Amino acid sequence: MSDFPENATLGQMPESAILARIFPKLPHSDFTIVGPGDDCAVMRAPDSRFVITTDMMVQGPDFRLEWSTPHQLGIKAAATNLADVAAMGAVPTGLVVSIAAPPETTVSFLEAIAEGFHDACLELAPGCGVVGGDLSVSTVVVISVSAFGDLEGREPLLRSSAQPGDVVAVSGRLGLAGLGLEALFAGTQDIHPLLRSAQLAPWPPISQGKAAAVAGARAAMDVSDSLVMDASRIARASNVVIELDEAVLDGLASRLAIEVGVDAAHARQAMLFGGEDHALLVTFPSNQPLPPGFDALGVVRARVIGESPHVSMGGAAVAENGWNPYQNWNGELS
């Protein structure tokens, strides 16, 4: 039984006691040989290769404690990294989580973050778990995650592999997270539940990464900064033009507008330029059917002489607008 009260802060407990309360709440990885407790974790790598990504969430530019519960922070920190692994066509296997927080932060706050990681892994990536991490002190809360994944013998899905004639498709919702962020900044009292959850505790289609790879996908990436910005990254890496179908986007925007109570033009802007959707943007050969759960958004075409790689819609280039923490953050830390 712990000698420390339930509401003890990080500054009142030794790290060993803090970890003893957090570890039982973290998800276990099926790929673990040696888990938390040694200087390094040891994991199985059945493919002999593994994919790895890392992402950081910082209080202020990335989240606000007045908006998010610690459980939601755990879900979001896990989901954003799992989505990157999925975008490579890999299956998530393990997470390394480091958290820095002010000394007055309660240990129960970290426990709730751990429970968020547990729930996200259980739902989005069964078999994936937290295999290690670190704790430190900071003036604000920082959550840093590294994620690992298994390619299971398949080639990774790269941004540079799109080819002219490919179908551009998406799995997951576009626009919800961006609209949710707008509503939060505006102080909207009754935010639509879909917008709130998409922004604060996203549930990306993680299993669709493997499904896309098995179905013969060529290129893919996680839509984290905006559909247009991330499609532009595929276009540049593959030296092609991505043509979005305006009629398809308008149809999806109209349905989104009705669903969450905004006008269609606003919904379309959010779908094109809103960040943090964490949908999977994938290109598939045109002679192969799209896997269930993917919707076609356009096509890949070759560049003409003098044309730069870009995203186009309705015959015109689309500006690369989207989420950029250096430009979008207003300096508030709440």
Pairwise CA distance, residues 181 & 238, whole Å: 31
Is the pTM value of this prediction over 0.85? yes
* Least-confidence region, from 97-106, 292-301, 313-322: 313-322
pLDDT in tens, 102-139: 999 999 999 999 999 999 999 999 999 999 999 999 99
Instruction: Write down the domain spans for the chain.
Output: 10-150, 159-324
pLDDT in tens, 13-57: 888 889 889 989 999 999 999 988 889 999 999 999 999 999 999
| pLDDT value at 334 more than 60 | no
State mean pLDDT over 197-211.
97
| pLDDT value at 330 more than 80 | no
* pLDDT above 90 coverage of the chain, percent: 86
| pLDDT value at 332 more than 90 | no
Q: What's the pLDDT score for residue 37?
A: 84
Pairwise CA distance, residues 28 & 20, whole Å: 15
State mean pLDDT over 58-72.
95
Q: What's the pLDDT score for residue 1?
A: 43
State mean pLDDT over 79-93.
98
Pairwise CA distance, residues 200 & 187, whole Å: 15
* pLDDT above 70 coverage of the chain, percent: 96
pLDDT in tens, 248-304: 999 999 999 999 999 999 999 999 999 999 999 999 999 989 999 999 999 999 999
Please name which of 100, 155, 93 lies closest in space to residue 129, comparing C-alpha atoms. 93
Mean pLDDT of the chain: 94
| pLDDT value at 331 more than 90 | no
Q: What's the pLDDT score for residue 323?
A: 75
**Token pair for residue 94?**
């393990």
Query: Given pLDDT bands bounded at 50, 70 and 90, which one contains residue 180?
Result: very high
CATH class of 10-150: alpha beta
| pLDDT value at 328 more than 80 | no
In CATH, the number for domain 159-324 is 3.90.650.10
CA dihedral sign of residues 259, 211, 131, 98: negative
Q: What's the pLDDT score for residue 16?
A: 87
Q: What's the pLDDT score for residue 20?
A: 87
Query: Given pLDDT bands bounded at 50, 70 and 90, which one contains residue 158?
Result: very high
